[in-house]
Structure 1
Amino acid sequence: MDRYDVLIAGAGPTGMVLALWLAHQGVKVAIVDKAAQPGTTSRAMAVQARTLELYRQLGLADETIAAGKRNVALNMWIKGKRRARLSLQDAGDKLTPYPFVLVYPQDQHERLLLRHLEKAGVHVQRLVELLAFEDREDYVVARLRDADGGLRECEARFLAGCDGASSTVRQTLGAGFPGGTYDHIFYVADVQAAGVAADGEVHVSLETADFVLMLPYTDTGRGRLVGTVHGVHAGGRDGGGPYTFDDVSHRALSSLGLRVDQVHWFSTYRVHHRVTNHYRSGQVFLVGDAAHVHSPAGGQGMNTGIGDAVNLAWKLAAVVRHEAPDSLLDSYETERIAFARKLVDTTDRMFNFITAEGNFADFMRTRIAPLFATVAYGIDAMRDLIFKIVSQITIDYHDSPLSIGSAGTITAGDRLPWVEADGVDNHAPLDKIDWQVQVYGEAGDGLRAWCLLHGMPIREFAWSRRHEEAGFARNAHYLVRPDGHVALCDPSHGPDAVAHYFRDRAYRRFCD
Structure 2
Amino acid sequence: MNPQILIIGAGPTGLALAYSLARQGVPFRIIDKNAGTGTASRALAVHARILEQYEQLGLAERNIKRGHPILSLDVSDGKRVKATVKFLDFGKGLSPFPFILSLPQDEHEEILVDELSKIGVEVEWNTALLSFEDTGEGVTAVLQQEGQPLEKAEFAYLCGCDGAGSMVRKGLGLEFPGGTYKQLFFVADIETEKPVDDMQKMDMYMDDDGFMLYMSVRNAKTKRILGIVPDELNERTDLQYSDISDYVENKIRVTAAKVNWFSTYRVHNRVSERFAKGRIFILGDAGHLHSPAGGQGMNTGIGDAINLAWKLAAVIQGKGAPRLLRTYEKERIVFARRLIATTDKAFQTIVSQKLRGTLLRQYFVPYVLPSVFNFSFSQKNAFKILSQIHINYRNSPLSKGKAGKIYGGMRLPWIETASGDNFDPLRSVDWQIHIYGKAKPELIDFARSQSLALHEFPWEAQMKDAGFKQDALYLIRPDGHVGLASEKQWLRVLKAYLEAYGIVAFGVE
Matching residue's letter, 1:59: G
Alignment of 1:75-90 (within 5 A): 75-90=74-89
TM-score, normalised with respect to structure 1: 0.93
Aligned-residue CA RMSD (Å) = 2.4
Assess, with a 3 A threshold, how the Cα gap between structure 1 residues 232 and 112 changes in structure 2: closer, same or farther. Answer: farther
Alignment of 1:98-497 (within 5 A): 98-193=97-192, 199-200=198-199, 201-217=201-217, 220-231=220-231, 236-237=235-236, 242-248=238-244, 250-251=246-247, 253-356=249-352, 358=353, 360-363=354-357, 366=360, 368-372=362-366, 382-497=378-493
Matching residue's letter, 2:160: G
Query: Please, which moves more after superposition, 249-258 or 82-91?
Result: 249-258
Cα distance in 2, alignment partners of residues 440 and 381 from structure 1? 31
Match of 1:8 in 2: 7
Cα distance in 1, alignment partners of residues 2 and 422 from structure 2? 39
CA shift at 1:199, angstroms? Answer: 2.7
Matching residue's letter, 1:112: I
Matching residue's letter, 1:369: Y
Unaligned runs of 5+ in 2: none
Cα distance in 1, alignment partners of residues 166 and 427 from structure 2? 32
CA shift at 1:253, angstroms? Answer: 4.8
Aligned partners of 1:3 and 1:154 also within 8 Å: no
Aligned partners of 1:273 and 1:294 also within 8 Å: yes
Matching residue's letter, 1:92: G
SS in 1 for 2:442: helix
Cα distance in 2, alignment partners of residues 221 and 296 from structure 1? 23
SS in 2 for 1:345: helix
CA shift at 1:230, angstroms? Answer: 2.0
Aligned partners of 2:82 and 2:360 also within 8 Å: no
Cα distance in 1, alignment partners of residues 323 and 369 from structure 2? 47
SS in 2 for 1:271: strand
Q: CA-to-partner distance for each residue in 1:104-134, whole Å, 9 max, x for gaps? A: 0000110000001111221111110001101
Cα distance in 1, alignment partners of residues 282 and 120 from structure 2? 24
SS in 2 for 1:4: coil
- Runs of 4+ aligned residues of structure 1 deviating over 6 Å after TM superposition are 194-197, 373-376
CA shift at 1:174, angstroms? Answer: 0.3
Assess, with a 3 A threshold, how the Cα gap between structure 1 residues 261 and 508 changes in structure 2: closer, same or farther. Answer: closer
CA shift at 1:374, angstroms? Answer: 11
SS in 2 for 1:115: helix
Aligned partners of 1:324 and 1:509 also within 8 Å: no
SS in 2 for 1:86: strand
CA shift at 1:218, angstroms? Answer: 6.0
SS in 1 for 2:192: strand
Matching residue's letter, 1:216: S
**Aligned length, in residue pairs:** 503
Unaligned runs of 5+ in 1: none
Cα distance in 1, alignment partners of residues 466 and 488 from structure 2? 19
CA shift at 1:150, angstroms? Answer: 1.9
CA shift at 1:101, angstroms? Answer: 0.4
CA shift at 1:366, angstroms? Answer: 3.2
Aligned partners of 1:437 and 1:456 also within 8 Å: yes
SS in 2 for 1:89: helix
Aligned partners of 2:83 and 2:360 also within 8 Å: no
Q: CA-to-partner distance for each residue in 1:376-429, whole Å, 9 max, x for gaps? A: 8xx998100000000000000000000001111111100000001214110000
Alignment of 1:59-98 (within 5 A): 59-98=58-97
Cα distance in 1, alignment partners of residues 434 and 150 from structure 2? 50
Cα distance in 1, alignment partners of residues 287 and 488 from structure 2? 40
CA shift at 1:217, angstroms? Answer: 2.3
State the identity as a percent.
41
Matching residue's letter, 1:36: A
Matching residue's letter, 2:77: I
Q: CA-to-partner distance for each residue in 1:445-491, whole Å, 9 max, x for gaps? A: 11111101111000000111221111110110100000000000011
Matching residue's letter, 2:108: H
Query: Please, which moves more after superposition, 446-455 or 197-206?
Result: 197-206
Cα distance in 2, alignment partners of residues 381 and 355 from structure 1? 20
Cα distance in 1, alignment partners of residues 428 and 56 from structure 2? 7
Cα distance in 2, alignment partners of residues 164 and 52 from structure 1? 22
Cα distance in 1, alignment partners of residues 261 and 169 from structure 2? 32
CA shift at 1:255, angstroms? Answer: 3.6
Query: Please, which moves more after superposition, 243-252 or 60-69?
Result: 243-252
Matching residue's letter, 2:341: D
TM-score, normalised with respect to structure 2: 0.94
Assess, with a 3 A threshold, how the Cα gap between structure 1 residues 232 and 165 changes in structure 2: closer, same or farther. Answer: farther
SS in 1 for 2:362: helix
Cα distance in 2, alignment partners of residues 299 and 282 from structure 1? 31
Assess, with a 3 A threshold, how the Cα gap between structure 1 residues 320 and 272 changes in structure 2: closer, same or farther. Answer: same
